[in-house]
Amino acid sequence: MTSQLPSSRAAATPRRRTVVLAAAATAALAPLTSLGASAAHAAGTAPAFLHGVASGDPLPDGVLLWTRVTPTPEAVPGSGLGPATQVGWEVASDKAFSHVVASGAVTASAATDHTVKVDVRGLQPQTPYWYRFTAGAAVSPAGRTLTTPAHETTTAGVRFGVVSCANWEAGYFSAYRHLAARTDLHAILHLGDYIYEYQSGGYPEAKYVVRQHEPKHEIVSLADYRTRHGTYKTDADLQALHHAHPVIAIWDDHEFANDAWAGGAENHTAGAEGEWAARAAAAKQAYFEWMPVRASVAGTCYRRLRFGTLADLHLLDLRSFRSQQTKVGSGSVDDPERTITGRAQLDWLKSGLAGSPATWKLVGTSVMISPVAFGSLPAHLLKPLTKLLGLPEGGIAINVDQWDGYTDDRKELLGHLTERSVKNTVFLTGDIHMAWANEVPVNMATYPGSGTAATEFVVTSVTSDNLDDILHVLPDTLSLVAESAVRAANWHVKWLDMDAHGYGVLDVTAERSQMDYYAVSDKRQPGATSAWTRSYRTLNGTQKVERAYQPVR
């Protein structure tokens, strides 16, 4: 490895190799150079950057950069083919790359699926930068990133795009395109299910598939996971999102297999599909190769980022350590020996929340922490809701894949927040393909008298099926009945939308945290429009959720 500036340092682990060659092309010439490189690549004469560029996990003094080089046409993701190739990167303080502040070079090889990651340091806080990669004559698209405020700095606000659950076969990633077009975001928070593991036509059914993913079989091996990640990274809207903003991501189950836990998954058959440990290791390796994410404790994704004195962002891994989901009605949901976080992660979270000097404590959790009970629902609505929420068809009020299935961990965490008087904790959640605005009750049985420990904003899916998709009816045809029934049985749920697909924008200031919910017009149309639907906020010190009547500007 070579490095031209001491302020730029490569990631330490072998699978996260990085760095660079200084590029001479100007920003104006870069698109033309990239097109020329792609044409040469098609003719088999030059490398190409076919999967875009990305940045992630921003810090006050640095950011993680990512790309994937295709050295020869046969070196497709997961193939294990293609020669080792020198890849360069450079970071500039201006879009024209006339002021390069860091650069270096590394060799990308089949050992890391020709992916490249570099952890650049020595940058200035709260500052935009542009970056790109080179390989021979090929120049990648340029990406823009943004460092975070210095830890002790008072900042007026921070704004995140928030997304989850993007199923390639269920629709187009228009939500990503609309977020990419915004110029007011500090980062994108991806709360999991960035990819899906199913075979083609497995979810949704083949007749409802919008576009087929690769490979067409269920992904199990390292090559399979690499190929699936590579397929997703060819999407133009996903590339645009990564080019425009740094992404802060955690995984959920579908980066592995449905309803994954520490020792297996609902969608894994031991023996026929190998051992779970090998499959999970392959999924994690591919994830860290293909995502702009720093590996954390023991190769997991739980970690913490700070945005000045305004907000700490605690990111959870709720798949690596959890106990197997129990059967509803077994009584095991309250078993103190069962865990969703694992002991070490729960202690880390409790310590971080209690010790945080930030005004806001944001928690990225892939599954919903608020409890959910059901009142009386017609059978034709109960059945699809049980599919979305993981409930038994009899309607017992436990979602065993979410925190409802691990009540001792939730009780301990919420008790910690109340006992230590930790204020302004906001859980940010994906997973269930619906949008929610919740108060998190200290005790649901006695709410609202028992008070609230935190608030929770849940974003809907980018494309993954929700109620109207499962029932194959127009939006709001039946969901209004279901939404009313859920709210009647759950007073802490202030709003939910069971039909929309889209994204959220979380705006955090010293006075309040506000989630604006946006819906796309039609996930099956690549040119879908986007519109604001609702906004909810929690004011500093209140731990209550109230409606806001306009989005942040």
64 backbone dihedrals φ, ψ, rounded to 5°? -95, 130
- Report which of 92, 77, 195 is spatially closest to residue 143, judged by C-alpha positions: 92
Series of mean pLDDT values for 10-residue runs along the chain (553 residues): 35 28 27 41 74 98 98 98 98 98 97 98 98 97 98 95 98 98 98 98 96 98 98 98 98 98 96 96 98 89 97 98 86 90 97 98 97 69 64 53 94 97 98 96 89 97 91 79 85 94 98 98 97 98 97 92
Instruction: Determine the pLDDT at residue 417.
Output: 98
pTM for the full model?
Answer: 0.90
- Which run of H or of E encompasses 138? strand 138-139
Cis omega (within 30 of 0) on the bond before 246? no
Are residues 68 and 140 in contact, defined by beta-carbon separation less than 8 angstroms? Answer: no
Count CB atoms within 10 A of the CB of residue 236.
Answer: 14
Distance CA 162, CA 429 (A): 9
According to CATH, where is 3.60.21.70 located in the chain?
A: 158-548
Count CB atoms within 10 A of the CB of residue 272.
Answer: 7
Give the homologous superfamily in CATH for domain 158-548: Alkaline phosphatase D (PhoD) (3.60.21.70)
* Amino acid of residue 366: S
Distance CA 225, CA 256 (A): 9
Distance CA 213, CA 203 (A): 11
- Structure token pair of residue 359: 């005004």
Tokens 């570099």 correspond to: 118
According to CATH, where is 2.60.40.380 located in the chain?
A: 2-146
R_g (Cα) of the chain, nearest Å: 23
Are residues 351 and 365 in contact, defined by beta-carbon separation less than 8 angstroms? Answer: no
Are residues 280 and 261 in contact, defined by beta-carbon separation less than 8 angstroms? Answer: no
- Which run of H or of E encompasses 41? helix 30-42
In sequence order, the β-bridge partners of residue 531 are 519
Are residues 94 and 83 in contact, defined by beta-carbon separation less than 8 angstroms? Answer: no
Instruction: Determine the pLDDT at residue 378.
Output: 59
SS3 letters for 90-137? Answer: EEECCCCCCCEEEEEEEEECHHHCCEEEEEECCCCCCCEEEEEEEECC
Distance CA 36, CA 296 (A): 39
Give the full edge-to-edge strand order of the sheet including 187-190.
8-9, 115-120, 63-68, 53-56, 247-249, 187-190, 157-163, 502-509, 512-520, 530-539, 546-548
CA dihedral 463, 537, 419, 430 (to 10 degrees): 0
- Structure token pair of residue 113: 């699926």
- Structure token pair of residue 483: 């939404």
Are residues 468 and 477 in contact, defined by beta-carbon separation less than 8 angstroms? Answer: yes
Are residues 113 and 77 in contact, defined by beta-carbon separation less than 8 angstroms? Answer: yes
Are residues 363 and 316 in contact, defined by beta-carbon separation less than 8 angstroms? Answer: yes
Dihedral sign (CA 116, 119, 122, 127): positive
In sequence order, the β-bridge partners of residue 379 are none
Are residues 102 and 122 in contact, defined by beta-carbon separation less than 8 angstroms? Answer: yes
**102: Cβ–Cβ under 8 A, 6 or more apart, which residues?**
4, 5, 7, 8, 90, 91, 120, 122, 123
Distance CA 132, CA 243 (A): 10
**37: Cβ–Cβ under 8 A, 6 or more apart, which residues?**
46, 47, 48, 49, 136, 137, 138, 139
- Report which of 349, 354, 395, 355 is spatially closest to residue 369, judged by C-alpha positions: 349
Distance CA 175, CA 180 (A): 9
Fold of 2-146: Immunoglobulin-like (2.60.40)
